[in-house]
């Protein structure tokens, strides 16, 4: 059984793409990813939809960048589970109908109101992402440091979290900057002094 069509909404850097990848991995199914702004022609959209296998996950990131005609074509394809191709240069010029496999469509957007209402209505799940707390970001940073085998004074992690504006992507970027300071000084354990040095270089204060 496939996953339900879903709209993933939230500011940049909160893990919308990551959760789509995790869902596909947990379902042990194929994962097809495309950026909304990369779909320039109807053939671009059709190729993605036709490539999708049964039960797979089709992920369109920055879906609000899709032109309205492609959004319309997308929700019509979901309704009919098929796409209509124009006749092109064929002698009879008649359109051709091609069936689609039963896939799960995941749309990610930072601005859901740029999506057509009929398309939003066809998304059975709304997954809304919000900014992380300092405690949540601290957990993310600790997990990343342990996964990479970095030696770190754990009490400095909240300092990084406070400077990350609730965004895991920024928190991990700062952590990597601190790590670079450590290596540039020929040391191995990340300390509070390294954190302050890295933040000074990036002009990040407590606010």
Contact in structure between 131 and 11 (CB atoms under 8 Å)? yes
Q: Other CB atoms closer than 10 Å to residue 196's CB: what's the count?
A: 15
CA–CA separation, 135 vs 114, rounded Å? 32
Q: Please name which of 129, 123, 128, 130 lies closest in space to residue 58, comparing C-alpha atoms.
A: 123
pLDDT given at position 90: 55
| pLDDT 10s digits, 103-153 | 999 999 999 999 999 999 999 999 999 999 999 999 999 999 999 999 888
pLDDT given at position 10: 94
pLDDT given at position 74: 94
Task: Record the tokens describing residue 123, joined without a space.
Answer: 């998304």
Question: Would you place residue 201 in the very low, low, confident or very high pLDDT band (cuts 50, 70, 90)?
Answer: confident
Contact in structure between 115 and 6 (CB atoms under 8 Å)? no
| pLDDT 10s digits, 147-179 | 999 988 888 899 999 999 999 999 999 999 999
Pick from 8-22, 64-78, 85-99, 176-190: least confident: 85-99
Contact in structure between 115 and 133 (CB atoms under 8 Å)? no
pLDDT given at position 89: 55
What sign does the dihedral 185-162-130-71 (CA atoms) show? Answer: negative
Annotated active-site positions, please? 16-17, 61, 110, 169
Pairing of strands 82-85, 96-99: antiparallel
pLDDT given at position 84: 83
CA–CA separation, 162 vs 159, rounded Å? 5
pLDDT given at position 88: 55
| pLDDT 10s digits, 16-73 | 999 999 999 999 999 999 999 999 999 999 999 999 999 999 999 999 999 999 999 9
pLDDT given at position 87: 61
What's the Rg (C-alpha) of the chain?
A: 22
Task: Record the tokens describing residue 92, joined without a space.
Answer: 């009879």
The yes-or-no verdict on residue 75 having pLDDT over 80 is yes
The yes-or-no verdict on residue 96 having pLDDT over 70 is yes
pLDDT given at position 92: 60
CA–CA separation, 76 vs 71, rounded Å? 9
């Amino acid at each position: 059984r496939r996953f339900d069509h879903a709209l993933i909404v939230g500011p940049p850097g909160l893990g919308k793409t990551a959760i789509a990848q995790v869902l596909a991995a947990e379902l042990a199914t194929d994962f097809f990813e495309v950026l909304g702004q990369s779909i320039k022609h109807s053939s671009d959209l059709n190729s993605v939809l036709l490539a999708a296998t049964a039960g797979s996950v089709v992920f369109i990131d920055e879906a609000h960048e899709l032109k309205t005609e492609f959004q319309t074509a997308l929700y019509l394809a979901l309704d009919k589970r098929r796409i209509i191709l124009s006749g092109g240069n064929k002698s009879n010029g008649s359109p051709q109908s091609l069936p689609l496999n039963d896939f799960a469509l995941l749309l990610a957007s930072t601005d859901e109101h740029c999506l057509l209402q009929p398309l939003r209505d066809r998304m059975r799940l709304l997954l809304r992402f919000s900014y992380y707390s300092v405690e949540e970001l601290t957990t993310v940073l600790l997990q990343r440091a342990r996964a990479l085998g970095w030696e770190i004074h754990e009490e400095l992690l909240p300092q990084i979290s406070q400077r990350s504006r609730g965004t895991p992507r920024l928190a991990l970027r700062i952590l990597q900057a601190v790590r670079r300071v450590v290596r540039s000084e020929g040391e191995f354990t990340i300390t509070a002094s390294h954190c302050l040095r890295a933040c000074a270089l990036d002009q990040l204060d407590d606010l």
